Structure 1
Amino acid sequence: MGQIDQDSRKFAVLREAFGFAAFRAGQEPIVDALIDGRNVLAIMPTGAGKSLCYQLPALVRGGLAIVVSPLIALMDDQVAALKLAGLAAEAIHSGKTREVNVAIWRRVVRGAVRLLYLSPERLMAPRMLAALRRLPVCLIAIDEAHCISQWGHSFRADYLGLGALREAFPDVPLAAVTATADRATRDEICDRLFGGAVETIVCGFDRPNIRLTVLAKSNAQRQIERLVRERPGESGIIYRISRRKVEETAAALQGLGVRALPYHAGMSVAERAANQETFLAEAGVVMVATVAFGMGIDKSNVRYVIHGDVPGSLEAYYQEIGRAGRDGAPSDAVMLYGREDVRTRRRFIEEQDCDEERKRIEALRLEALVGFCETTSCRRQVLLGYFGEASGPCGNCDICLVPPQFVDATPAARLAIDMVRTTGERYGAVYLADLLTGEASETVIGRGHDRLPLFGAGADRRRSEWQTILRQLVADGYLAVEPGGYGSLSLADRAAGLIDGTETFRLRLEPPKPGGRRARRRATPAPPAPDAELVARLKSLRRDLAAARNVPAYVVFTDRTLEEMAAYRPRSLDELAGVRGVGTAKLAAFGPAFLSVLNE
Structure 2
Amino acid sequence: MEPIVEKDLLQKLKSNFGYDSFRLEQQKIIENVLAKKDTLVIMPTGGGKSICFQLPALFFEGITLVISPLIALMKDQVDSLKANGISATYFNSSQTEEEQQHVFDVIVNKEVRLVYVAPESLQLLQNILHQNYISCIAIDEAHCISSWGHDFRPSYKQLAFLKKSLPDVPVIALTATADKATQEDILEQLAIPNATRFISSFNRENIALEVRPANDRVQQITKFINRRPNESGIIYCLSRKATEQLAAKLSQSGIDARPYHAGLSFEERAETQESFIKDDVQIICATIAFGMGIDKSNVRWIIHYNMPKNIEGYYQEIGRAGRDGLPSHALLFHSYADVIQLRQFIANTANQEVQEAKLERMKQFSEATVCRRKILLSYFGELIEENCGNCDVCKNPPQFFDGTVIAQKALSAIYRLQGKEAMGTVIDVLRGAQNAAILDKNYQLLKTYGVGKEISWRDWQHYLIQLVNQGFCQIAFHLNNTLQLTEFSEKVLFNGEKVELTTPIEISKESPKQEKVSKKKTSTSNTLFERLRKLRYRIAEEENIAAYLIFSDATLRELEIQRPQTDEEFLAISGVGQRKLEVYGGEFMEEIKTFIKEKKKGKKDTTLETYKLYQEGLSVEDIAIQRGLKEQTIFSHLAKLYLEGKDISLDKFIDANTLKLIQSAKKVLGNETALKPYFEFLKEEVSYEQIRIGLTILQKKTL
TM-score by length of 2: 0.70
In structure 2, distance between residues paired with 1:28 and 1:480: 50
Which residue is 2:22 aligned to?
Answer: 23
In structure 1, distance between residues paired with 2:187 and 2:412: 43
> Pairwise mapping of residues 27-426 of structure 1 onto structure 2 (< 5 A)?
27-123=26-122, 125=123, 128-129=125-126, 131-149=128-146, 156-282=153-279, 285-350=282-347, 355=350, 357=351, 359-391=352-384, 392-408=386-402
Distance change (3 Å), C-alpha of 1:494 and 1:581: farther
Distance change (3 Å), C-alpha of 1:538 and 1:94: farther
Contact 2:257 2:285 in 1 (8 A): yes
In structure 1, distance between residues paired with 2:528 and 2:308: 39
Cα deviation 1:289-312 (Å, max 9, x = unaligned): 222322233444433222221122
Amino acid at match of 2:251: Q
Distance change (3 Å), C-alpha of 1:481 and 1:145: farther
Look up the SS of the partner of 2:50 in the other structure.
helix
Distance change (3 Å), C-alpha of 1:547 and 1:98: farther
Contact 1:380 1:394 in 2 (8 A): yes
What's the CA shift for 1:212?
A: 1.6
Cα deviation 1:330-380 (Å, max 9, x = unaligned): 3322211111111111222226xx52x2x2222221111100111121111
Contact 1:213 1:397 in 2 (8 A): yes
Look up the SS of the partner of 2:202 in the other structure.
coil
In structure 2, distance between residues paired with 1:397 and 1:318: 14
Answering whether residue 554 of structure 2 is matched by residue 555 of structure 1, we say: no
Which residue is 1:525 aligned to?
Answer: none
Amino acid at match of 2:78: V
What's the CA shift for 1:16?
A: 2.2
In structure 2, distance between residues paired with 1:405 and 1:174: 51
| Greater RCO (Cα-Cα under 8 Å, separation 6 or more) | 1
In structure 2, distance between residues paired with 1:128 and 1:253: 44
Look up the SS of the partner of 2:331 in the other structure.
strand
Distance change (3 Å), C-alpha of 1:339 and 1:20: same
Distance change (3 Å), C-alpha of 1:281 and 1:567: farther
Contact 2:76 2:294 in 1 (8 A): no
What's the CA shift for 1:590?
A: 3.3
Cα deviation 1:310-335 (Å, max 9, x = unaligned): 12221221222223333434332221
What's the CA shift for 1:267?
A: 3.4
Distance change (3 Å), C-alpha of 1:362 and 1:491: farther
Look up the SS of the partner of 2:354 in the other structure.
helix
Look up the SS of the partner of 2:54 in the other structure.
helix
Contact 2:150 2:313 in 1 (8 A): no
Which residue is 1:527 aligned to?
Answer: none
Cα deviation 1:206-246 (Å, max 9, x = unaligned): 22232222111123222322333343444332222223222
What's the CA shift for 1:474?
A: 5.7
Q: Single out whichever of 50-59 and 291-300 deviates more from structure 2.
A: 291-300
What's the CA shift for 1:106?
A: 2.0
Amino acid at match of 1:340: A
Look up the SS of the partner of 2:290 in the other structure.
coil
Contact 2:209 2:391 in 1 (8 A): yes
Contact 2:146 2:189 in 1 (8 A): no
Which residue is 1:524 aligned to?
Answer: none
Which residue is 1:522 aligned to?
Answer: none
Look up the SS of the partner of 2:104 in the other structure.
helix
Amino acid at match of 1:286: I
Amino acid at match of 1:110: N
Q: Single out whichever of 537-546 and 51-60 deviates more from structure 2.
A: 537-546
Answering whether residue 535 of structure 2 is matched by residue 564 of structure 1, we say: no
Look up the SS of the partner of 2:142 in the other structure.
coil
Which residue is 1:442 aligned to?
Answer: none
Distance change (3 Å), C-alpha of 1:145 and 1:492: farther
In structure 1, distance between residues paired with 2:390 and 2:7: 41
Distance change (3 Å), C-alpha of 1:131 and 1:497: farther
Amino acid at match of 1:315: E
Amino acid at match of 1:17: N
Amino acid at match of 2:16: A
In structure 1, distance between residues paired with 2:115 and 2:368: 45
Amino acid at match of 1:93: N
In structure 1, distance between residues paired with 2:480 and 2:38: 40
Look up the SS of the partner of 1:122 in the other structure.
helix
Which residue is 1:590 aligned to?
Answer: 584
Cα deviation 1:455-491 (Å, max 9, x = unaligned): 9999956998887666436645788999999979999
Cα deviation 1:96-148 (Å, max 9, x = unaligned): 1121011111221222222111111222x2x6356312534222111122222
Look up the SS of the partner of 1:200 in the other structure.
strand
Which residue is 2:661 aligned to?
Answer: none
In structure 2, distance between residues paired with 1:428 and 1:56: 60
In structure 1, distance between residues paired with 2:449 and 2:146: 43
In structure 2, distance between residues paired with 1:502 and 1:14: 66
Cα deviation 1:230-276 (Å, max 9, x = unaligned): 43444332222223222222222222222333333333444444444
Look up the SS of the partner of 1:61 in the other structure.
coil
In structure 2, distance between residues paired with 1:333 and 1:153: 19
Cα deviation 1:271-292 (Å, max 9, x = unaligned): 4444444444449923322223
Look up the SS of the partner of 2:584 in the other structure.
helix
Amino acid at match of 2:309: G
Contact 2:164 2:191 in 1 (8 A): no
Q: Single out whichever of 556-565 and 47-56 deviates more from structure 2.
A: 556-565
Cα deviation 1:181-230 (Å, max 9, x = unaligned): 23343333233224532222222122223222211112322232233334
In structure 2, distance between residues paired with 1:430 and 1:166: 54
- How many residue pairs get aligned? The number is 570
Contact 1:65 1:115 in 2 (8 A): yes
Contact 1:305 1:332 in 2 (8 A): yes
In structure 1, distance between residues paired with 2:82 and 2:303: 34
Which residue is 2:609 aligned to?
Answer: none
In structure 1, distance between residues paired with 2:152 and 2:2: 45
TM-score by length of 1: 0.80
Look up the SS of the partner of 1:105 in the other structure.
helix
Which residue is 2:8 aligned to?
Answer: 9
In structure 1, distance between residues paired with 2:180 and 2:452: 40
Q: Percent identity?
A: 40
